[in-house]
Amino acid sequence: MEKTPSVNAAIRSWRDDLGKNSIIADADFLVTYTDSVCSSKRQVVAVLMPRSMEEIQKIVATANEHKVPLYPISCGKQWGMGSRLPVRDGAAIVDLGRMNRIIEVNAEHHYAVVEPGVTQRQLLDYIEERELPLMLNVTGSASDTSLIGNAMDRGVGYFDSRTHSISNMQVVLGNGEIIQTGFGHYENAKTKNLYPHGIGPSLDGLLQQANFGIVGSACIELMPKPDEHMAAIIKIDSEDKLPQLIDALVKLRSRGVFLSVAHVGNRERSTITLAPLLYEQLLAAGDPEDETTRAKAVQMLEEGGFGPWSAAIGVLGTKGQIKLARKEIRKAVGGFSKTLFLNDILVRRATALCKNLAFIPFFHRQSMMLKAIEPVYGFTRGAATDESLKAVYWAAGDYQNMEEHDPDHSNSGLLFCLPIMPASGQVVAEVVADTRDTFSRHGFIAAITVNLMGTKAMEGVISLAFDRRDEAQTRAAHDCIQEMEARYMEQGYPPYRVGINSMHHVVNEDDSFWRTVRELKKVLDPNGIISPGRYNLI
């Protein structure tokens, strides 16, 4: 885009403050930031890459002086929701990826203080190298995704919502002030990373899914490593049994049999997650790289019992608690499902057995299935992986990019919608049926996961895959998601998170809530320079 005099003046000032290697304004390079797996387009004036809170302050001061909006990102991996792209044109992206220090990890009180560029993998490596008795609430996305960025948009991990895990934030507000939330603003507070609320109004929640400032560091809650761990993989063979499965899981969670998030995925979700991993193993075994081999991988999943719906639950606790949980889960779902219980010892033994007997076709297939399940099993014990990205390419038919670590730079298209619904089997079945019908009318198949996050509510994760090279298909994909999100709102199931093209579904001038949020914006960011239009009327 053609830069205005005020933008050019801001760029000169930022270059002086940050150094020439920390600002990119070249149009050819900006494409690497504006390519997006959701196939949306935005005009961006520059990319700024600060290394400290002081540099963020300078960036914000210049933005206020020249009235150039900013769009902060941590790692920019918000695939399917906008990636690195701002809600509106004309912003400078503030890439916080260079601010990637792990400031502190406390094993006794199980927390980490990190900067926004710190990734899942980076923190897990830190914990592993020091043999700390800690676990991370990982997400099912790639290992190089951000901790702070995901938590600020209320991402959901395999054990809990990430919104519950972030506190003691250090923030540069849009008005230039630096604040620290909780007890963090008291210099000698010894409990700033132990008690999240502090005293007075809680600003942590106010800053999440907001456009009031830029977070430069925060405390992330970790989990103490348990004595024992078990994964329960529950499979049903009929769509009609989904309500029964959901209600059984709600009862188990209500009774405290497990306290993590139960992830329930349909056949399409299981296929795009596991089939590419089986396909790679078939290729390694000598099968040709063609549609026949891909169909063979899908058939192996069917034979392995991954039918209409499958659930994955991680159970943590003492040996006695795990034993009791296994008994209670089997009792609750045994009459209508097949359940596989896994732990590290069983996985090692089964892997060794299948390897030793790999010359027998049955054991060879079982060995492949174990390797395919391994990443999902890893999520339930707090391990991150990049294998999950293959689902994006498989779903879009973008097989040549299976090893690409950033789907923004592929041919794949991906869009998400994320409704919250009551934890009721009947309601979930109705939402699933309506979602499938809407997708089908637009020519798509919905990959659906419903996550039981507590005892009352479920998060829907509905993804739509398309080929970005096909303009008609791309338009249809966006039309489908827009209609789907509108339908969820009409039905009373608002999303807990929306992409850059969907703010209008949730932000409404007629709603006093959003008018109040707008007034807060005027105080904390009077020139409206932080992420205009993101979860706000301005």
pLDDT at 364: 79
Entry pTM: 0.95
How many structural domains is the chain composed of?
4
- Looking at residues 294-309, what average pLDDT do you find? 93
Do residues 414 and 276 both lie within one domain?
no
311 CB-near residues (< 8 Å, 6+ apart): 232, 233, 234, 235, 245, 249, 262, 263, 264, 265
371 or 105, which is more confident = 105
**pLDDT number for residue 414:** 98
Answer yes or no: are the C-beta atoms of 237 and 410 closer than 8 Å: no
The pLDDT-based confidence of 2 (bands split at 50, 70, 90) is: confident
Q: Are residues 215 and 311 in the same domain?
A: no
Both 358 and 451 in a single domain?
no
Q: Of 224, 253, 268, which closes a domain? A: 224
Residue 18: give its domain's CATH number.
3.30.43.10
- On whether residue 513 sits in a domain, the answer given is no
Q: What is the pLDDT of residue 352?
A: 85
Residue 390, in any domain of the structure: no
Q: Are residues 351 and 240 in the same domain?
A: yes
217-254 pLDDT per residue, tens = 999 999 999 999 999 999 999 999 999 999 999 999 99
Closest CA to 525 of 93, 63, 168, 115: 63
pLDDT at residue number 412: 97
- Name residues whose C-beta falls within 8 Å of residue 256's C-beta, 6 or more positions apart in sequence: none
Are 407 and 81 contacting, i.e. CB atoms less than 8 angstroms apart?
no
Tens-digit pLDDT profile for residues 440-461: 999 999 999 999 999 999 999 9
> What is the per-residue pLDDT across 117-172, written as a single tens digit (0 to 9) for each?
999 999 999 999 999 999 999 999 999 999 999 999 999 999 999 999 999 999 99
Q: Is residue 511 part of a domain?
A: no
Domain extent for 372: 228-385
Q: Which amino acid is at 149?
A: G
263-301 pLDDT, tens digit each: 999 999 999 999 999 999 999 989 999 999 999 999 999
Is the pLDDT assigned to residue 366 strictly greater than 90? no
The pLDDT value recorded for residue 177 is 97
CB–CB of 216/115 below 8 Å? yes
Kindly report the CATH number assigned to the domain that includes residue 480: 3.40.462.10
Is residue 250 a part of any domain in this protein? yes
Residue 173 placed within a domain: yes
Same structural domain, 165 and 212: yes
Q: Which pLDDT does position 501 carry in this prediction?
A: 97
Q: Is the pLDDT of residue 363 over 80?
A: no
Average pLDDT on 318-340 reads 96
Same domain for 414 and 313: no
**Residue 1 pLDDT more than 70?**
no
Report how far Cα 441 is from the mean position of its chain's Cα atoms: 27
Q: What's the pLDDT band for 355 if we cut at 50, 70, 90? A: confident
Query: Of 98, 132, 159, which residue sits at a domain end?
Result: 98
The mean of the pLDDT values for the chain is 95
53, part of any domain:
yes
The CATH number assigned to the domain holding 172 equals 3.30.465.10
- Residue 114 identity (one-letter amino acid): V
Whether 277 and 252 share a structural domain: yes
Same domain (yes/no): 334, 369:
yes
* 204 in the same domain as 115: yes
Of 173, 194, 224, the last residue of a domain is 224
Confidence of residue 419 (pLDDT cuts 50, 70, 90): very high
pLDDT digits (tens, 9 = 90+) for 481-520: 999 999 999 999 999 999 999 999 999 999 999 999 999 9
| pLDDT surpassing 90 at residue 477 | yes
Q: Say if residue 86 is in the same domain as residue 123.
A: no
Confirm whether 520 is domain-assigned: no
Same domain, 368 and 234: yes
The verdict on 179 and 284 lying in the same domain is: no
What mean pLDDT comes out for the span 177-198?
A: 96
297-323 burial, b for 16+ CB within 10 Å, e for fewer?
Answer: bbebbeebebbbbbbbbbbbbeeebbe
Provide the CA 6 distance to its chain's centre, in angstroms.
Answer: 36
508 domain-assigned: no
d(C-alpha 275, C-alpha 268), whole Å: 10
